[in-house]
Amino acid sequence: MFTVGLTGGIGSGKSAAAARFRHHGVNVVDADWAARVVVEPGRPALVEIARHFGEAVILADGSLDRAALRQRVFDDPAERRWLEQLTHPLIREEIISSLAVSQTTHSAPYAILESPLLIETSQSELVQRVCVVDIPEALQLQRASARDANSVEQIRKIMAAQLPRDERCAKADDILDNSGSLESLNAQVDALHRKYIQLAAQA
C-alpha cells in the first residue's frame, strides 16, 4: 500500500498530526510503539539489554526501566548506538507487520509510518513519500519539556541525536508547519489527506 512517512524531531507534533490522519481512517503505524513492543518482558532483546547495561535498567516487575535507559543512552553516544544496533532491525520488522494490516482494516487508501528516526534509519525505504512536521527548535524544546518528565538538558541531548532541522526539511516532500495552533495543523493535514488519496490512486 502507498505509505507516507511522518517524521519530525522530539516534540514537533507528530502525534498531533497522526491523530488527525487517524480521524480520516488512515492506519498510522507508530515507530515509538514498535520500539516498546520489541523490548517487552519475554522478548530476547530485553535479556540482551539487561546483560549489557545490568539489572539497574530493569524494574522490579521485570519490565524495562525506560527512564534509567534513557539517561544511559543519551549521555553516551556509543551506548545509544549499541541499543540501536540491537533494536532497530526488530523495530523495522514490527513496523512491516503492522503496515501489512492496513489494507484489510482501514478505509483510507494509504498508510502512515510515524517515526522520529524515519530519515536517520532504513525505515525510509518503507515509504514512498516523506512528510516532515516542522517547528523552530526553541518551540520544540518548550513543548517537549512542558509535556515530558525529561529535563531541558536531556531533551537537548535527544535533539542532538536527531537530524538538524534544515537537513530534515531538505529531505521532505511535504512540510506541516506546526508553529501555530492545532487548528492550523489539522487544516494542513486535511489538505495533505486529500493529496495523498490522489497520489495513492496514481501509484
Ligand X SMILES: CC(C)(COP(=O)(O)OP(=O)(O)OC[C@H]1O[C@@H](n2cnc3c(N)ncnc32)[C@H](O)[C@@H]1O)[C@@H](O)C(=O)NCCC(=O)NCCS
Compare residues 12 and 123 and give the one whose CB is closer to ligand ATP. Answer: 12
Is 8 among the residues that bind ligand ATP (CB under 6 A)? Answer: yes
Q: Which is nearer to ligand ATP, 126 or 133 (CB)?
A: 133
12 binds ligand ATP (CB under 6 A): yes
Instruction: Give the orientation angle of helix 44-53 with respect to helix 77-100, to 10 degrees.
Output: 170
Judged by CB, which is closer to ligand X: 60, or 149? 149
Q: Could you tell me which residues are beta bridge partners of residue 134?
A: 177
Nearest distance from residue 13's CB to ligand ATP, in Å? Answer: 4
Binding mask 126-145 for ligand ATP (x = CB under 6 A): -----------------xx-
* Shortest distance (Å) from residue 81 CB to ligand ATP: 20
Residue 159 interacts with, from ligand X, ligand ATP, none (CB under 5-8 Å by kind): none
Cell of 19: 491523530
Among the candidate windows 28-36, 104-112, 126-134, 167-175, which touches ligand X by CB under 6 A?
28-36
**For 11, what's the count of Cα atoms within 13 Å in the CB-facing half-sphere?**
21
Q: Considering the complex, state which of residue 26 and residue 69 has its C-beta at the smaller distance from ligand X.
A: 69
Q: Which residue's CB is nearer to ligand X, number 70 or number 193? A: 70
- DSSP string over the chain: -EEEEEE-STTSSHHHHHHHHHHTT-EEEEHHHHHHHTTSTTSHHHHHHHHHH-GGGB-TTSSB-HHHHHHHHHH-HHHHHHHHHHHHHHHHHHHHHHHHTHHHH-SSSEEEEE-TTTTTSGGGGG-SEEEEEE--HHHHHHHHHHHSSS-HHHHHHHHHTS--HHHHHHT-SEEEE-SS-HHHHHHHHHHHHHHHHHHHHH-
Our finding on whether 15 is near ligand ATP (CB under 6 A) is yes
- In whole angstroms, the minimum distance from the beta carbon of 51 to ligand ATP comes to 28
Q: Which of 38, 61, 1, 18 is nearest to 46 (CA)?
A: 38
Using CB under 6 A as the criterion, which residues of the chain lie in contact with ligand X when the complex forms? 10, 31-32, 35, 66, 69-70, 73, 80, 83-84, 87, 91, 115-117, 158, 161-162
Show binding-site residues for ATP.
11-16
Using CB under 6 A as the criterion, which residues of the chain lie in contact with ligand ATP when the complex forms? 8, 10-16, 32, 116, 143-144, 147, 178, 181-182, 185
